[in-house]
Structure 1
Amino acid sequence: MARPDQSNRTRSSRRAGGRPPDRTVVYTDGACSGNPGPGGWAWVIPGGRYRSGSETHSTNQRMELAAALDAVRSIDGAVEVVSDSAYVVNCFRQGWWKGWLARGWINTKKQPVANRDLWEPLVDLYRSRPISFRWVKGHGGNKWNDLADRLAVQASLTQQGVEGEGTPPPGHVPVPDRDGWRS
C-alpha cells in the first residue's frame, strides 16, 4: 500500500514530548576500486549490527545503492538511512522515483533508469513502511560513516563481505594511512 510522500522526511523529527521516533538509524556506504571496477558496499547500525558485500564489476553509485537496499531489507520497522551519496538521498528527497514510476522506469533523458534492479525494490520498500534518508558529508569525520566507508573499501578490495554485531575488530577494517589502506 502506498503511503503519503515522505520525501521531505530527511532529518529526524521528534514526537510530542521531545522523544525521537522509534526507528533504526543505519549508516551506509559504497566503494569501487576503479569506476567501473570491483565494488563493495557496507552498512553499520551504531552499537549494533554491520554487514558488507561486494560485486566483481560495479560502479560507486551502484554500491551506494546496494548498501542502502541491503540495510533496509535487513532491518525491520522504521529506518533512517544515513548516506554520503547524493544519488541515493536525493532520489527520495527530490522524488525522482515518482517520475521514474510515472514514465515506466525511464529517466528525464528518456533513457532506462540505471540500476533499476536495485532501485525498484528499494522504492517498493520505501512506499510500504517508514523509511527516511539523511545526507552526511563523506570523509567528514563522522565515526559511523567512516566505519561504513572502511568496510565498503575492504569489501571492494578483498571481494569478501563481513557480518557481525558491535564494532568490527581492527583486523577486519583497514585503516587509512598516507600510502593508502593498511590493516
Structure 2
Amino acid sequence: MRVVHTDGSCLYPTPAARTGPGGWAWITDDGQQGSGGQPDTTNQRMELHAVADALRRIDGPVEVVTDSAYVANCWAQRWWEGWIARGWKTSAKKPVAHRDLWEPVVDRFALGDVTIRWVKGHTGDPGNELADRLARSEAERIRDTT
C-alpha cells in the first residue's frame, strides 16, 4: 500500500477574510508529488484538492495521511453516506460544499482501496511537515503573482 501525505494552505488577507490565495500539495512515501494553488479559495478546499489530485494520479491501494479534520471526519463519521442518500445535500438540506472535489474522492473510496489516517498537524510528522511546506509555498507563489 502506498502512503500519501496531503495538505492545504490558505493565506487569508485579513483575520476576518473567508478566502484568500491558497495552495495544496501531496507527496508519496516513494517521492512522487503534486501541488498547485488558486488565487481565491479556502483552506478546506485546498485540503480536499490535495487528496483529490493524489487519488487521481495514484493507482492501487493508498493510505491518505491528512491533518485535516474536515477530510478525516468525512470518513470517520461517514458524512459521505448521508450526502449520497440525500442527493448531495447536507443534513441541513444545503448543497454539499466542494462537491466537485468530494464526488471523485468518494467514488475512489467506495472502491475499497483507500484508507484515511488523521495526524495532528505541526507535530513533527515528516511527511505532513513536507506536504505543509509545499502547500504553503504554492499559496505564497499564488499570492505573489496576483
**Fold equivalence (TM over 0.5):** yes
Please list every run of 5 or more consecutive structure 1 residues that lacks an aligned counterpart in the other structure: 1-22, 161-183
Between the aligned partners of 1:44 and 1:159, the Cα distance in structure 2 is: 20
1:92 aligns with 2:64: no
Q: CA deviation at 1:123?
A: 0.6
Q: Does 1:156 align with 2:134?
A: no
Structure 1 length normalisation: TM-score?
A: 0.73
Moved over 4 A (4+): none
CA distance in 1, matches of 2:75, 2:92: 19
| Higher helix residue share | 2
| Secondary structure of 1:151 counterpart | helix
CA distance in 2, matches of 1:94, 1:132: 14
Mapped pair 1:38 → 2:21: yes
Tell me, in whole angstroms, the C-alpha distance in 2 between the residues paired with 1:99 and 1:63: 23
Matched residue SS, 2:135: helix
Q: Gapped runs of 5+ residues in structure 2?
A: 13-17
Q: Give the corresponding residue for 1:120.
A: 103
Query: Distance between the aligned counterparts of 1:93 and 1:73, measured in 2?
Result: 21
* Equivalent AA in structure 1 for residue 26 of structure 2: W
- Normalised TM-score (structure 2): 0.91
Higher CA-based Rg: 1
Which structure is richer in relative contact order (CA contacts within 8 A, separation 6 or more)?
2
Paired residue total: 138
Whether the 8 Å CA contact 2:9–2:132 is kept in 1: the answer is: yes
3-state DSSP class of the match of 1:159? helix
CA distance in 2, matches of 1:38, 1:65: 15
**Deviation for aligned residue 1:117:** 0.6
* 1:69 pairs with 2:52: yes
